[in-house]
Amino acid sequence: MQLRVIKRDGSSERYLHTKVLGTFNNVLVSAGEADIIVAEQFAEAVTYHLYHKNSKSILTSKEIHSLIRSVLVTTGCDEAVYHLDDWRVRRELGRKRIEVISDSGSEQWDKSHIACDLVTRDGLDEHVARAVASAVEEKILNMGVTHVRKMLIRQIVLADAASMAEASRQLEMAG
């Protein structure tokens, strides 16, 4: 069974163990408790639970967040819980505050537009497109701006897509 995750924007993607691992690693590092072995064990516990103790094949990102939070709480990683919650709130607020400005008007930030454009207009693989969109969103959120021009977003998208294509090409050549 392949698990699907319904994202906050309504789109769905397959469950990726590596995203859960990355989340654990990031919050443990932020809490000053960096330990990749512990992060891997925590991620394994979540993935095991989802595949063997869970009867649903479709989950929301909020449900996965709750599982990650539960693991951190039950293992006494209180500082990491704080960083996990803080990160989630900052992302939600940041997304709501960003307005994308173009010659034809403005619209609310939505990274799924980037992924969709990369797939339909540029022919990128859906997973690569979502990775590019996530990287672009991270850059925009880190800028701390509330208004961003669509042309700037497009330039960041092009640069990140080119970087990922180059990394992919190098991996193929090495393998």
pLDDT over 80 (residue 168): no
Handedness of CA 29, 31, 36, 42 (dihedral sign): negative
pLDDT digits (tens, 9 = 90+) for 79-92: 999 999 998 998 89
- Measured over all CA atoms, what is the biggest interatomic distance in the chain, rounded to whole angstroms? 51
pLDDT attached to residue 11: 80
* 28 and 34 Cβ atoms separated by less than 8 Å: yes
SS3 assignment for the chain? CCCEEECCCCCEEECCHHHHHHHHHHHHHHCCCCCHHHHHHHHHHHHHHHHHHCCCCEEEHHHHHHHHHHHHHHCCCHHHHHHHHHHHHHHHHHHHHCEEEECCEEEECCHHHHHHHHHHCCCCCHHHHHHHHHHHHHHHHHHCCCEEEHHHHHHHHHHHHHHHHHHHHHHHHHC
Q: Which long-range contacts (CB under 8 A, 24 or more apart) does 65-68 make?
A: 68/20, 68/23, 68/24, 68/42
Mean pLDDT of the residues in the chain: 91
pLDDT digits (tens, 9 = 90+) for 91-133: 899 999 999 999 999 999 998 899 899 999 988 888 788 889 9
What average pLDDT score do residues 30-58 get? 92
Distance CA 48, CA 171 (A): 29
